[in-house]
Amino acid sequence: FLIYVLLAPIGGYLLSTVAFATLLAFRLGYRTPKTLAAAAASGFVIVLVFKTFLQVKVPGGQIYESLPDGLRAFMLTYF
């Protein structure tokens, strides 16, 4: 969890949450592609709910700085 907290400002909330959910499922023993895909999808849905619908203000990651302006604004707003 501490690695997730440290990587979120660098990789962004979306990338960090999807990676964390997938790696956590793998660590818990769910190693089939179907369950790992479900873990990644649930991580994506978590981000979508918190950032888009609940409008929780989460700092954007440094990785977003390399995106083009329009895409960067979209990612910072919704993901």
pLDDT tens, position by position, 7-42: 899 998 899 999 999 999 999 999 999 999 999 999
Q: Cβ-count burial of 28 within 10 angstroms (0-12 exposed, 13-18 middle, 19+ buried)?
A: exposed
Residue whose structure tokens are 């994506």: 44
> What are the pLDDT digits (tens) for 42-75?
999 999 999 888 988 887 888 888 889 889 888 8
Residues 6+ apart with CB under 8 A from 27: none
Amino acid symbol at 51: K
pTM value is 0.84
